[in-house]
């Protein structure tokens, strides 16, 4: 199975409002609440495409129970470490013709005891895992190199890691002796890592950027480019994955859906071409749905056939 990590899950609350009024009351009818956090978006897409997975991370309180119940209802297997503090909520207000205002709680602060307990719990889950995905930022209280420690634990059990994070946590993972198999930085994250500007429309420059020694030892680097697809490095090969023009309904969670596609393709031992085509298809299918981290499996084959991969 694929083990997916969401250390700071959240109840994602979506409020559709015609107009957001400040300093007064806004009444909402069609409230939607889903099990969120980037890793749970990854989990839902993997599950919708019929692959075995277990979702893990920290979970706590009544909100945590609600979240686990939601995953049960969706048929998503999970094995979280319970903690004393409440799991967070994240609010997205969709208003004024396409605007999105978000209020994101920081979530619980993890104690050093729970941090250690989770690593023990994680070690047990790794025994049944073929592949690991780690997504998102970390909750408060954990050291910057906590993902790096997790990658070392996975490495000790020969479980490869797909890492989708940013900032100091990503930098720490790239500097460690045990590397993730794959990273998925966006333009901003690449610029942060390289300490210089990056132009994602200039593929020749991107090819140079991805050969920076900072990435040595990382097999796959996937730079997703929204409607332009993705620029990808796999070992010493470079590709541009091109996608068709599609009708976008809601692009939020496309990056997570892309990671789900990469995980399934790699897990299934597919060719480079099919791994990238799977990832582009899951990304596109997510943009075509209103819900975040959702895909319609019935459309998979049609859009898969429309992705083209060129060597660069
Ligand atoms: P996120 O904000 O969700 O983390 P991201 O920046 O990591 O997203 P994107 O590059 O925006 O990821 O999107 C990931 C993939 O989803 C793309 O490679 C593409 O396959 C698909 N996608 C995203 N936006 C569009 C779009 N406007 N049209 C077509 N496909 C899209």
Mean pLDDT along residues 46-68: 97
Taking only the tens place, the pLDDT of each residue in 134-169 is 999 899 999 999 999 999 999 999 999 999 999 999
Residue 46's nearest CA partner among 2, 13, 96 is 2
Position 20 scores a pLDDT of 97
Position 272 scores a pLDDT of 98
Q: How far apart are CA 148 and CA 142, in angstroms?
A: 12
Q: How far is the CA of 229 from the centre of ligand 1 (A)?
A: 7
Among 77-81, 197-201, 263-267, the range scoring the smallest mean pLDDT is 197-201
Position 161 scores a pLDDT of 98
Asked whether residue 58 carries a pLDDT value surpassing 90, the answer given is yes
Mean pLDDT along residues 232-259: 95
Asked whether residue 290 carries a pLDDT value surpassing 90, the answer given is no
Asked whether residue 277 carries a pLDDT value surpassing 90, the answer given is yes
219-230: buried (b, 16+ CB within 10 Å) or exposed (e) per residue?
ebbbbbbbeebb
Position 25 scores a pLDDT of 97
Nearest atom of ligand 1 to the alpha carbon of 283? 16
Percent of the chain residues topping a pLDDT of 90: 94
Q: How far apart are CA 149 and CA 123, in angstroms?
A: 11
Q: How confident is the model at residue 179 (pLDDT cuts 50, 70, 90)?
A: very high
Q: In sequence order, what are the residues at sequence separation of 6 or more whose Cβ sits closer than 8 angstroms to the Cβ of residue 251?
A: 226, 286, 287
289-to-19, 187, 240 alpha-carbon distances in Å: 23, 25, 25
Q: How far apart are CA 300 and CA 277, in angstroms?
A: 10
Position 250 scores a pLDDT of 85
Residue nearest to atom 23 of ligand 1 (CA): 226
Backbone dihedral angles phi then psi of residue 33, each to the nearest 5 degrees: -125, 125
Q: How far is the CA of 108 from the centre of ligand 1 (A)?
A: 29
Position 252 scores a pLDDT of 87
Position 119 scores a pLDDT of 98
Asked whether residue 98 carries a pLDDT value surpassing 90, the answer given is no
Asked whether residue 97 carries a pLDDT value surpassing 90, the answer given is no
Q: Which residues line ligand 1 (CB under 6 A)?
A: 186, 224-227, 229-230, 243, 246, 248, 251-256, 258, 280, 283-284, 287
Mean pLDDT along residues 173-201: 94
Mean residue pLDDT across the chain: 96
Mean pLDDT along residues 283-311: 96
Q: Token digits for 290?
A: 């209103």
> Which residue of 42, 170, 226 sits with most ligand 1 atoms within 8 Å of its CB, as the best mutation to test the pocket?
226
Q: How confident is the model at residue 75 (pLDDT cuts 50, 70, 90)?
A: very high
Q: How far apart are CA 270 and CA 257, in angstroms?
A: 18
Residue 5's nearest CA partner among 105, 160, 147 is 147
Q: Answer yes or no: are the C-beta atoms of 47 and 53 closer than 8 Å.
A: yes
Position 111 scores a pLDDT of 98
């Amino acid at each position: 199975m694929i083990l997916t990590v969401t250390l700071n899950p959240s109840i994602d609350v979506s409020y559709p409002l015609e107009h957001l009024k400040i300093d007064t009351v806004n009444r909402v009818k069609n409230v939607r609440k889903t099990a969120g956090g980037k890793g749970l978006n990854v989990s839902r897409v993997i599950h919708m495409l019929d692959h075995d997975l277990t979702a893990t991370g920290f979970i706590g309180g009544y909100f945590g129970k609600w979240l686990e119940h939601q995953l049960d209802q969706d048929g998503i297997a999970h094995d979280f470490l319970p903690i004393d503090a409440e799991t967070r909520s994240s609010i997205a207000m969709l208003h004024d013709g396409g605007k999105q205002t978000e209020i994101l709680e920081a979530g619980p602060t993890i104690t050093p005891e729970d941090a250690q307990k989770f690593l023990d719990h994680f070690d047990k889950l790794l025994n049944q895992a073929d592949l690991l995905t780690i997504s998102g930022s970390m909750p408060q209280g954990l050291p910057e190199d906590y993902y790096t420690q997790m990658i070392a634990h996975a490495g000790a059990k020969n479980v490869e890691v797909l890492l989708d994070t940013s900032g100091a946590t990503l930098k720490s993972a790239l500097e460690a002796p045990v590397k993730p198999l794959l990273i998925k930085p966006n333009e901003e994250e690449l610029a942060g890592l390289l300490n210089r500007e990056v132009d994602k429309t200039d593929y020749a420059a991107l090819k140079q950027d991805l050969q920076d020694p900072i990435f040595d030892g990382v097999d796959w680097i996937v730079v997703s480019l929204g409607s332009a697809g993705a620029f990808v490095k796999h070992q010493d090969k470079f590709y541009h994955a091109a996608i068709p023009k599609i009708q976008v309904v809601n692009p939020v969670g496309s990056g997570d859906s892309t990671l789900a596609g990469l995980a399934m393709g790699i897990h299934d031992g597919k060719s480079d071409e099919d791994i990238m085509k799977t990832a582009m298809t899951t990304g596109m299918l997510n943009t075509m749905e209103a819900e975040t981290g959702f895909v319609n499996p019935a459309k998979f084959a049609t859009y898969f056939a429309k992705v083209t991969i060129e060597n660069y």
